[in-house]
């Protein structure tokens, strides 16, 4: 751990100067207390650094929670082993691609039977919060069970004992983004009205006790639950496709579902704060978590060590070192194919910006996380599904 300033602690041995400066700006805010904790995967984000843990008093920063509210991971350990799987992995990949809408702007054509109960749960939650999700996003129901694009993925992996795991990453889709955009704009307008001097307008906050704060918290929690149920819905579809492919039941042995873009009330160093994890997971003592590597790299099933200095947090992944445009300029399709050797994936240049070399080495991230989490399982991909 490095103490960059009295209000910024860092667990990142590889830290971009822009991310460092951005984190220092966030830490300088009067509402931040006691300090910002930077995770090993830290890299620049909207307003606040991705891979940062931000405790605030009497306020929440919507942009620090992020645009993909509730984004996170889910993993299922099955009873299957490598020897139980057919050789034709392309058939499974294509079946998953047919069962789960992929890419930005893609969603279900109709409300599926499997999603209906989850949609009813979300409708009831929205009604209790006096919130209409159709206001920001008319087709939000059809988004449940869709993956999105970018670094979102579905994987079939094997652990150190050749047991089969199903693993995926996604969040609250367009409805979560629309909620975030609305409240970031409201926070900026409120900051302008108060003539706040901010190092970045995206660091504008909503004050606790205000109507805007209450509305954001209610809608953020709804979007966070949407994201959790979205992962559950996709995972159920993936399980069904694996069972058809393998010709036998998956028989789940373990399921872990964790957020990495959220805020909630927590107590740290004897004080109640709003703790925002922007690209970070809850790593309190004994809490299970998931830390994915980049496309083609290994992923990890972990358990938290409850590091108080790190505000009981850990990284959410590898963390970018090349922007998407820079990755496309720097790397080649041939390099991507080499990195994905032995993994069934859709061979397309569309994924070039997700090449493992565009991210920090996951081994370095996990080494930096040694006092944050304990590794329970190490997963290696055999099938990868992504949206363009």
- Give DSSP secondary structure letters for 188-221: HHHHHHTT---SSGGG--EETTSHHHHHHHHHHH
C-alpha distances in Å from residue 93, one per residue of 87, 241, 352: 12, 9, 19
Model confidence band, residue 246 (pLDDT cutoffs 50, 70, 90): very high
Model confidence band, residue 222 (pLDDT cutoffs 50, 70, 90): very high
pLDDT at position 103: 86
C-alpha distances in Å from residue 331, one per residue of 57, 65, 186, 335, 357: 43, 31, 40, 7, 8
pLDDT for 190 beyond 90: yes
Mean pLDDT of the chain: 96
Region 251-262: what's the mean pLDDT?
Answer: 96
- pLDDT tens profile 299-319: 999 999 999 999 999 999 999
The two tokens of residue 29 are 């805010």
pLDDT at position 197: 94
pLDDT for 286 beyond 90: yes
Q: Which residues are paired to 52 by β-bridges?
A: 38, 278
pLDDT at position 388: 84
- pLDDT tens profile 196-206: 999 999 999 99
Q: Does residue 14 contact residue 360 with C-beta atoms inside 8 Å?
A: yes
pLDDT at position 104: 84
- pLDDT tens profile 101-153: 998 889 999 998 889 999 999 999 999 989 999 998 999 999 999 999 889 99
For the chain, domains (ranges, CATH) are 2-385 (3.90.1860.10)
Largest CA distance in the chain: 64
Q: What is the percentage of the chain residues whose pLDDT exceeds 90?
A: 96
Model confidence band, residue 4 (pLDDT cutoffs 50, 70, 90): very high
- The count of other CB atoms within 10 Å of the CB of residue 300 is 23
Q: Does residue 370 contact residue 290 with C-beta atoms inside 8 Å?
A: no
The two tokens of residue 173 are 């889709």
Pairing between strand 59-60 and 72-81?
A: unpaired
Known catalytic residues are 316
The closest alpha carbon to 235, from 153, 113, 140, 295, belongs to 153
Dist. CA 195–CA 59, nearest whole Å: 17
């Amino acid at each position: 751990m490095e103490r960059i300033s009295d209000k910024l602690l860092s667990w990142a041995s590889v830290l971009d100067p822009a991310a460092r400066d951005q984190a220092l700006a966030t830490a300088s805010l009067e509402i931040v207390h006691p300090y910002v904790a930077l995770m090993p995967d830290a890299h620049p984000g909207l307003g606040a650094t991705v891979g940062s843990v931000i405790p605030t008093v009497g306020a929440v920063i919507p942009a620090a929670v992020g645009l993909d509210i509730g984004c996170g991971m889910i993993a299922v350990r099955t009873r299957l082993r490598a020897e139980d799987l057919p050789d034709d992995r392309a058939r499974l990949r294509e079946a998953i691609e047919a069962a789960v809408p992929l890419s930005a702007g893609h969603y279900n054509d109709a409300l599926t039977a499997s999603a209906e109960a989850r949609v009813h749960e979300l409708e009831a939650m929205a009604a209790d919060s006096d919130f209409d999700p159709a206001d920001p996003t008319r087709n939000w129901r059809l988004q449940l069970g869709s993956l999105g694009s970018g670094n979102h993925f579905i994987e079939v992996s094997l652990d150190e004992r050749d047991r089969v795991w199903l693993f995926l990453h996604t969040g609250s889709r367009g409805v979560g983004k629309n909620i975030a955009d609305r409240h970031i704009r409201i926070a900026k307008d409120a900051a302008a009205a108060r003539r706040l001097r901010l190092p970045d307008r995206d660091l504008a906050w909503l004050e606790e006790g205000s109507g805007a704060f209450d509305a954001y918290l209610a809608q953020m929690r709804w979007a966070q639950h949407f994201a959790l149920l979205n992962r559950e819905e996709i995972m159920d579809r993936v399980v069904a496709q694996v069972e058809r492919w393998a010709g036998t039941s998956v028989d789940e042995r373990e399921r872990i579902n964790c957020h990495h873009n959220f805020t909630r009330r927590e107590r740290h160093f004897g004080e109640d704060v709003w703790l925002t994890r922007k690209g970070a997971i809850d790593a309190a003592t004994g809490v299970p978590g998931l830390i994915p590597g980049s496309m083609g790299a290994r992923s990890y099933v972990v358990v938290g060590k409850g590091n108080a200095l790190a505000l009981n947090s850990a990284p959410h992944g590898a963390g970018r070192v090349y922007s998407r445009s820079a990755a496309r300029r720097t790397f080649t399709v041939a390099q991507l194919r080499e990195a994905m050797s032995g993994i069934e994936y859709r061979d397309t240049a569309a994924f070039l910006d997700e090449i493992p070399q565009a991210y920090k080495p996951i081994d370095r991230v996990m080494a930096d996380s040694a006092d944050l989490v304990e590794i329970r399982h190490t997963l290696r991909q055999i099938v990868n599904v992504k949206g363009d």
